[in-house]
Amino acid sequence: MAMAKTRDHLGRPVVAVTGMGVVSSLGQGIDDNWAALTAGKSGIHRITRFPTLHMRTTIAGTVDFLYPDEVRSPVLSERLAHLAAAEAVEQSGIGAPGDFPGMLFMAVPPVEIEWPARRDFFAGTDPEAGDAYDRMIQRVLSLNDPDTYEFALYGCVADRTADHFGTRGAPISLSTACASGASAIQLGVEAIRRGDTEAALVVGTDGSVRIEGLVRFSLLSALSTSNDDPEKASRPFSRDRDGFVMAEGAGALVLEDYDAARARGANILGVIRGIAEKADDFHRTRSKPDGSPVIAAIQQALDDGGVSTADVDYINAHGTGTPENDKMEAMSLEAVFGEALKGIPISSNKSMIGHTLTAAGAIEAVFSLKTIAEGLIPPTINYHNPDPAIPLDVVPNVARAQPVSMVLSNSFGFGGQNACLLIAAEPA
């Protein structure tokens, strides 16, 4: 007799997590990251990768321990992804090296030719050849540089990752701005629920802190300018929060059909219980003032997971530390959870690792699973000046030992992207 298939409240396959990996400015690997994170340590520091003259912001959570010199963003993004994915795949014990039996869903930062390359292409070109781009085009036609070419393709990082890990089919590269990591997980969950694949490698990676990226966010007044004391710059939920801190890192999860994972004797770290997304049509960078899209995303995640607000015992906040995000996030959570919200711990990993942009949703999912496994909630550090308009239990400054079995993890991004994950302990 066949074993009964495990199904969720809507009759769908259950999606288990059997491996995870992470790299951030706090270090490489889950153990180092978790130790630093629960010790309330900040990974934010002064930028040394490139000169910061004339910059309003001179700090970031860059990952500087992998390459001594500045490399192209996609090179670093790939390396970060590679390390996180290798840790996840090894922990899961699935497949064989170079032979991952499932699909790849990858959140990667958008790609472009960067200034060092642009300067190289321009140097020594003929001023008579036309405008700057005509000159560079003439030059690259005579260079034969397949490496630079490859790393200027949007699909490159996922393609190389697929090659290395031997994932099945065409990899998906996606960007939903600062919700990308969560979107990658959602795509993996949906594919397993559909039965398209029994396993998925999902990765969010971002190694794109470069001069122009810093300028871009700075011009939108999104970044903290608290340069004097970098470790205290990221202050989610504080009254004096002044923006987010750009950062780098990668998070990876091995997702599997729950029954398939059980059948091969895998250690199940948790399940992705619910997923939801709701687009906002209000503005390119601001949320609808009534919070309705964020509220809808949170409510839909609960509905998708078949749970009520009373089942959620920790919230891993988007918590960027911008004045608007934290206010909007708190207001929307209150609309869904009501008075009970005050009794639910909510903390922001970004207070320590900064905002890892494309990677954030994936990294925070890893930390959410670790929170469940350890019964230890990472704090919101730099919380010394509470915002009276946000009366939440933000787990101020010090980690808290407390059993957690269901986490709501929020991710929001420019372009009206709102994604929520409901991450739960086994059993499903």
Partner 1 sequence: MSAPNDVLVTGIGLVSSLGEGLDAHWHAMAETGARPHPAETGKFKPFPVFPMVPLELDKQIPRRADIRQMETWQRLGTYTAGLALDDAGLTGDAERLARMDMVVAAGGGERDLDVDGQILAGLETAAEPASFLNEHLANDLRPTLFLAQLSNLLAGNISIVHKVTGSSRTFMGEEIAGISAVEVAARRISAGQGELFLVGAAYNAERKDMLLSLAMGRTLWQGEPATVWERGAAAEGGMITGSAGAFLVLESRAHAEARGKSAYAKLSSVLSGRSRRGPGDAAKVARKQFDELSAQFGPTPPGVLSGANGIAAATAEERALWDALVAEGKVGGVRATQTLIGNAIEAAFPVQVALAALAIARHGFYLPTDGSGIELPAATPAQILATSWGFWRGEGMALVEAAD
- Residues identified as active-site: 178, 318, 355
Single-letter code of the amino acid located at 135: R
Of residues 20 through 59, those in contact with partner 1 by CB under 8 A are 50-56
DSSP H/E element including 211:
helix 211-219
Residue pair 225/56 in contact (Cβ under 8 Å)? The answer is: yes
Of residues 285 through 304, those in contact with partner 1 by CB under 8 A are 285, 293
Q: Name, in order, each residue with C-beta under 8 angstroms of 287's C-beta and a sequence gap of 6 or more.
A: 280, 293, 294, 324, 328, 412, 416, 418
Tokens of 260: 């398939």
Residue 310 as a binder of partner 1 (CB under 8 A): the answer is: no
Q: How far from chain centre, in Å, is Cα 113?
A: 23
Of residues 197 through 236, those in contact with partner 1 by CB under 8 A are 211-212, 215-220
Residue 264 as a binder of partner 1 (CB under 8 A): the answer is: no
Residue pair 26/216 in contact (Cβ under 8 Å)? The answer is: no
Of the pair 144, 308, the CB lying nearest partner 1 is at 144
Q: Name, in order, each residue with C-beta under 8 angstroms of 223's C-beta and a sequence gap of 6 or more.
A: 56, 57, 214, 217, 243, 244, 245, 246
DSSP H/E element including 133:
helix 132-142
The distance of closest approach from Cβ of residue 131 to partner 1 in the complex, given in angstroms and rounded to an integer, is 6
Residue 362 as a binder of partner 1 (CB under 8 A): the answer is: no
Residue 239 as a binder of partner 1 (CB under 8 A): the answer is: no
Of residues 125 through 154, those in contact with partner 1 by CB under 8 A are 131-134, 136-137, 140-141, 143-146, 148-150, 152-154
Of the pair 134, 240, the CB lying nearest partner 1 is at 134
Among 20, 44, 81, 158, binds partner 1 (CB under 8 A): 158
Tokens of 348: 């922001």
Tokens of 120: 């190289």
Pick the stretch among 1-9, 39-47, 65-73, 167-175 that binds partner 1 (CB under 8 A). Answer: 167-175
The distance of closest approach from Cβ of residue 409 to partner 1 in the complex, given in angstroms and rounded to an integer, is 17
Tokens of 286: 């601001």
Interface with partner 1: number of residues (CB under 8 A): 81
The distance of closest approach from Cβ of residue 263 to partner 1 in the complex, given in angstroms and rounded to an integer, is 22
Among 169, 306, 375, 403, binds partner 1 (CB under 8 A): 169
Of the pair 227, 414, the CB lying nearest partner 1 is at 414
CA gap 420, 302 in Å, rounded: 9
Q: How far from chain centre, in Å, is Cα 216?
A: 20
Among 176, 325, 332, 411, binds partner 1 (CB under 8 A): 176
The distance of closest approach from Cβ of residue 415 to partner 1 in the complex, given in angstroms and rounded to an integer, is 3
Residue 194 as a binder of partner 1 (CB under 8 A): the answer is: yes
Among 29, 101, 155, 166, binds partner 1 (CB under 8 A): 155
DSSP H/E element including 134:
helix 132-142
Of the pair 13, 21, the CB lying nearest partner 1 is at 13
Of residues 70 through 129, those in contact with partner 1 by CB under 8 A are 108, 110-113, 115, 118-119, 121-123
263-302 burial string, b = 16+ CB within 10 Å, else e?
eeebebbbbbbbbbbbebeeeeeebbeebebbbbbbbbbb
CA gap 254, 88 in Å, rounded: 6
Residue 195 as a binder of partner 1 (CB under 8 A): the answer is: yes
